[in-house]
Amino acid sequence: MTGGRTTRHGAFTLLEVTLVVGLMVVLAAIVVPNFLRELERESLPGSARNLRSLLTLAAANASFDGKRYRIRFPEEDETDLLGGVRQPIIEREDDPIGDPEAFYPVSAPWAVGHTMLGEVWCAEVRLGRPTIERLRQTRSQVRDALEEGMEEFEVERLPLVIDPDGTSDWATFLLTDAPPGTDLDELEQYPRVELIVEGATGLAWLQRPFFDEELDLFEEHNWPAVLRQDFLSERILTEDDVLELRDLWRRP
């Protein structure tokens, strides 16, 4: 009589499974919050880059169609094409002769999507080339309104019109992830990014708002209020910094 041979297959014990699951929970508790925070930090500059790309596409389509396009954000009691209130709306002047100044939403795939990421929204659209004088005037108007006890200050979000040749006016889009409806006196407490568009060339840069002491420096040296390159660092610019930045964009 021959005895049978038994083979023992490897298996996880309950203790081993519990240890693995526990380790995965610990790792998730460490990694997931950091990942979410990184997404939040990237949502503001990412939204600005998305908006820059959208403006480039709108200019290209204006040139291709030979018609005026415009980009704007939902007005009060209006929604965007995704049913929200934060995404930009692309519109086209379909019949400039028979129905001038009548713009209609563009529903092409390139024009509809999640341009604004996370909780980012456009707080202001300023048309015209940024100057030290205009920046100071805007801040002065805000401060005067606050000193007079006004609870809200009406900020403008004018539409940017793109002509058939792909050009437009200068424009500054102020993006923030502050809670919607945040008063302007509190808006400075939150991260902000300005997308500055040079309409004649289509070039655009991401730039954080200047500090008051930086405006003083620019005014003293009669420098323009546009760095002509992306600059989002929170450190205060010195004279040497500005000279170095200006030298970089002048190089071929």
Domain-embedded: residue 199? yes
Domain that holds residue 201: 14-56+114-250
Does residue 62 sit within a domain?
A: no
Strand locations in the chain (E): 69-72, 89-93, 103-105, 121-127, 160-162, 171-176, 192-198, 203-207
> Which residue is it, tokens 């420096």?
217
Token look-up 């606050």 returns 146
Cα gap 200→129, rounded to integer Å: 11
Residue 75 lies in a domain: no
The pLDDT value recorded for residue 171 is 94
240 in any annotated domain: yes
In angstroms, the CA 193 to CA 212 distance is: 16
* Structural domains of the chain, count: 1
Task: Look at residue 134 and tell me if it is in a domain.
Answer: yes
**Residues 105, 155: contact at Cβ < 8 Å?**
no
Edge-to-edge strands, sheet with 171-176: 121-127, 171-176, 192-198, 203-207
Q: How far apart are CA 77 and CA 61, in angstroms?
A: 29
Residue 93: inside a domain? no
Would you give per-residue pLDDT tens digits along the chain (252 residues)? 455 555 555 566 877 777 777 777 766 666 544 433 443 468 999 999 999 999 999 999 999 999 999 999 998 889 999 999 999 999 999 999 999 999 999 999 999 999 999 999 999 898 888 888 777 766 555 555 445 444 443 457 889 999 999 999 999 999 999 998 787 667 788 999 999 999 899 899 999 998 888 888 888 888 888 888 898 988 888 888 777 776 655 554
Summary mean pLDDT of the chain: 81
- Whole-structure pTM value: 0.76
Burial of residue 57 (CB within 10 Å: 0-12, 13-18, 19+) is: middle
In angstroms, what is the C-alpha Rg of the chain? Answer: 26
Residue 137, domain member (yes or no) = yes
102, part of any domain: no
The CA dihedral of 231, 236, 238, 240, to the nearest 10 degrees, is: -40
State the Cα–Cα distance between residues 171 and 156, nearest whole angstrom: 12
Residue written as tokens 């291709």? 64
